[in-house]
Amino acid sequence: MIRLSKRRPDLEEIMDRDDCDADALERTYRAFVHINRWLSGWGRLYGRYVRPVLEHEAARREETRHAAKSRVPAGLEHGKPIRIVDVGCGGGDVLRYVMRRARRDGFDVEGLGVDPDGRAIRFAREKARTSVDPPMSFLEGHLEDVSGPVDIIISNHLLHHMTDREVRQLLAAGADRAALVCIHNDIARSWAALVLFQVVRPLFPRTFVGVDGTRSIQRAFTARELAALAGPDWMLVRAAPFRAGLLFATPHRLRDELAGAAS
């Protein structure tokens, strides 16, 4: 019998096992493209939070370039793209979605996906190699392994894999590292999430979606738990009633603007 009164971080997801079936794992990565498109709410998160941040930063950089144009040698006027890092990127579909939206909106961005699971990184790299996508690269590792500047940090379905202590460490590292904003989006432990998932799971046979999806919901935080764990510097954001996420904006002006969108 499934109980949701307390989270179950002790439950293991099949796809996290080193010896899980490789073909089923690849089918699961492919299934995530559809699951995340339908249920993760990144369309709303992009519109409410990511795009305003990109607009703010693009305008700031343009103003800086214009002011310094007379001091920049000819041919070197173009600045660096805004860098988006997806932590725990899995097969890379969320990063790919955000990058496509940003490029479609005319922003100069580059993306990096980082994940400790080499199988996920190999899948993401192969997908990027065979797709016509904005410039993205993938790194096997963690946030601390990322070199160079980081402007925006995102994650999807990462927090429920972590202990409370690991979540606090991730939040502290992201807040220290991101020049603009961090957005961590996850499922919320709720009956609404579980009921909706039961509708979706039959669509993905011969994958780990059925078992792992149920366990993910059991392992997840509630919105209240997540807000309490993160503390007052982080804003609770909800892409849907069955979702729970956290947002941290570094510039105070930007934080005030995004707080209005979150309310």
Q: HEC profile for 18-86? A: CCCCHHHHHHHHHHHHHHHHHHCCHHHHHHHHHHHHHHHHHHHHHHHHHHHHHHCCCCCCCCCCEEEEE
Residue 133: which CATH number? 3.40.50.150
Q: Is residue 142 part of a domain?
A: yes
Q: What is the pLDDT of residues 149-170, one digit of tens each?
A: 999 999 999 999 999 999 999 9
182 vs 167: CA distance, rounded Å: 13
Q: What is the mean pLDDT of each run of 10 residues along the chain (263 residues)?
A: 95 98 98 96 98 95 79 56 98 97 97 98 94 89 97 98 98 97 98 96 97 98 97 96 95 78 66
Q: Is residue 71 part of a domain?
A: no
Q: Is residue 74 part of a domain?
A: no
User: Is the CB of residue 97 less than 8 Å from the CB of residue 44?
Assistant: no
User: Is the CB of residue 175 less than 8 Å from the CB of residue 248?
Assistant: yes
Q: What angle do the packed helices 51-68 and 93-104 form, to 10 degrees? A: 50
Q: Is residue 100 part of a domain?
A: yes
Q: What is the pLDDT of residue 69?
A: 66
Task: Identify the helix (H) or strand (E) that includes residue 154.
Answer: strand 152-156
Residue 10 CA, chain-centre distance (Å), reads: 23
219 vs 183: CA distance, rounded Å: 20
> What is the number of domains present in the chain?
1
Q: Is residue 251 part of a domain?
A: yes
Residue 93: closest CA among 40, 150, 147: 40
241 vs 187: CA distance, rounded Å: 9
Handedness of CA 63, 67, 68, 70 (dihedral sign): positive
Q: Is residue 6 part of a domain?
A: no
Task: Identify the helix (H) or strand (E) that includes residue 155.
Answer: strand 152-156
Domain that residue 204 falls in: 22-59+80-262
Q: Enter the pTM of the model.
A: 0.94
Q: Is residue 250 part of a domain?
A: yes
Q: What is the pLDDT of residue 79?
A: 77
Helix, strand, coil percentages, rounded to 5, for the chain = 50, 15, 30
192 vs 178: CA distance, rounded Å: 33
Which tokens is 51 given?
A: 């795009």
Burial class of residue 142 (count of CB atoms within 10 Å of its CB; 0-12, 13-18, 19+) = middle
Q: What is the pLDDT of residue 222?
A: 98
Q: Is residue 11 part of a domain?
A: no
Which tokens is 184 given?
A: 């961590």
